[in-house]
Chains A and B, each alone.
Chain A
Amino acid sequence: MAALQGAVETTAPVSRLHEQRSYDPADFGVPTGREEEWRFTPLRRLRGLHTDAPLPGGKVTVECDPAPEVTVENIERGNRRLGTAYVPADRVSARAFTSFAEATVVTVPRGVVASRPTVISVRGDDPAGAVFGHVVVELEPLAQAVVVLDHTGSATYADNVELIVGDGATLAVVSLQDWASDTVHLSHHHAQVGRDARFTHTAVTLGGSVVRLAPSVRYAGPGGEAELRGLYFADAGQHLEHRLFVDHGERNCRSRVTYKGALQGADAHAVWIGDVVIRAEATGTDTYEYNRNLVLTDGTRVDSVPNLEILTGEVVGAGHASASGRLEDHHLFYLMARGIPYDEARRLVIRGFFGQLIAQIEVPELHARITSAVEAELA
């Protein structure tokens, strides 16, 4: 019943996998698909984003609707304020860093609490050409904000998002990959979490042809907390890949990774990589990662690979769990034995599966939209 497919352990230690960093695409070879970080990704469907050939431009519009307390600037590539927190970890990311036209930079001043979410809308209008993007969100110490990244439309898009959470600050990011079905999107979201800061990140990936999103966290001081959540629903032909990396290099930090996905239809493919490293100096670390996949039809493929590397003996907690399986027959039987028809019972169980995760999202206005988007997938 709980058919765990493709849970292949990697051979290299997690710490080694994430060693290579550069702003220069030439420092990374063109991926062939045999590399650890590319082996699950359908390179042929990336429309050349990973190659070295020049690409025609497309059309992506980035608009920001900020909370009144925050500042938003558009800054040209090359400015020294960009790329401070994150150095690209793969070729596409480096290519985005050297190719975008203008970055959107959101700053929340010290001690300021944003009164409403800041929404950055990324809308694609042309899947034929490629567009590169860059976003920086910086919370100065003790600031608090919620930021929504709302991706819609048709695009071939690669971008980097730098999230700087100052000491004692609290940042919640919700990233919606609500793309049209012809979009290819490759993205890195990297958070630098300050001393006693709190960071939550929720990826909601429902649309797109190929979406490869890599949320990562590094701690810049002790006592930081990071909670990474994800919800995805892969339909026929969709490739939805989430590559998590939490780098514990500071004392007494905490991380939680919870990703839940559902798959249905021929060649629906979900990939979840959960890399966590606890370095020698990161004593008192508390980490747990969890991935659960609901396989709704035949012909789908799940690759779920948790990797935990622990380099200190003094951890508070370190664990992971991964399971992929079908809907539980005894759940369906129980509901149907009360008169509820099969389709309705199935919807109830799937809604329940995602419900708790949706309820945790810091923007209540989004709950209904996400719930109905999931319902639409089931219809």
Chain B
Amino acid sequence: MTNSKNEMISAGDGSPKMTTRNVNVFYGDKQAINDVSIDVNMDNVTAFIGPSGCGKSTFLRCLNRMNDTIPIAKVTGEITLEGEDIYSPTMDVVQLRARVGMVFQKPNPFPKSIYDNVAYGPRIHGLAAGKDELDNIVETSLQRAGLWGEVKDRLLDSGTALSGGQQQRLCIARAIAVDPEVILMDEPCSALDPIATAKIEELIHEIRGRYAIVIVTHNMQQAARVSQRTAFFHLGTLVEYGETSEIFTNPTETQTRDYITGRYG
């Protein structure tokens, strides 16, 4: 990348699912994101990497307006989903967050049964006509999240009684249940052990292509394993965005190279 932050940066083949143009984010007077333009494609998993405080999570949270919940946060620029401006006054934010689901660092199942955790979204969005259809959505979502086999005999147990890795997959099943177009994952494995992490990575591989996936991760090997496109952020700017294979074997920018080879500090 030739530092073309103001130009469109393609996300690869196919039309972009989400586009961002000249996005700036301010927390009060402090600018957290500086003029970032990125496209997110349906066919790819996109990874955001960078040191703590580089703005990658802040930027991720712009994609489904999670920053709205922070009173001093201000977002400028343009972010579209399927060509629609998500910051337009007519955008229904609840609807937006169903279309652009999110999975957080720490698993946060509702203190309800496994079944109700997954059924919650379809219920409030009226996605199921009856019990059979809802059962069907719950089963399909849990299967896609790779959890069905482990919980099918105890769907009425509490979601919080599951292990950390299972809880995280439950959260992914919950996001999947409302049939989103995009799934944002903010360090989904940082609280999990290696086996649970591997299961999430396998799950990402399985559902890739069905949803556009954006993952923020501190684990560079994970970014290299699960993504096809990688964006490197530093001090609120997008330093480099390109093919994952290229970023991790032959990055263009010195800053990217220093970060991924463990030379910054």
Asked if A pairs with B, the answer is no
Q: What residues make up the interface of B, taking CB atoms closer than 8 Å to A? A: none
**Chain A interface residues toward B at CB < 8 A:** none
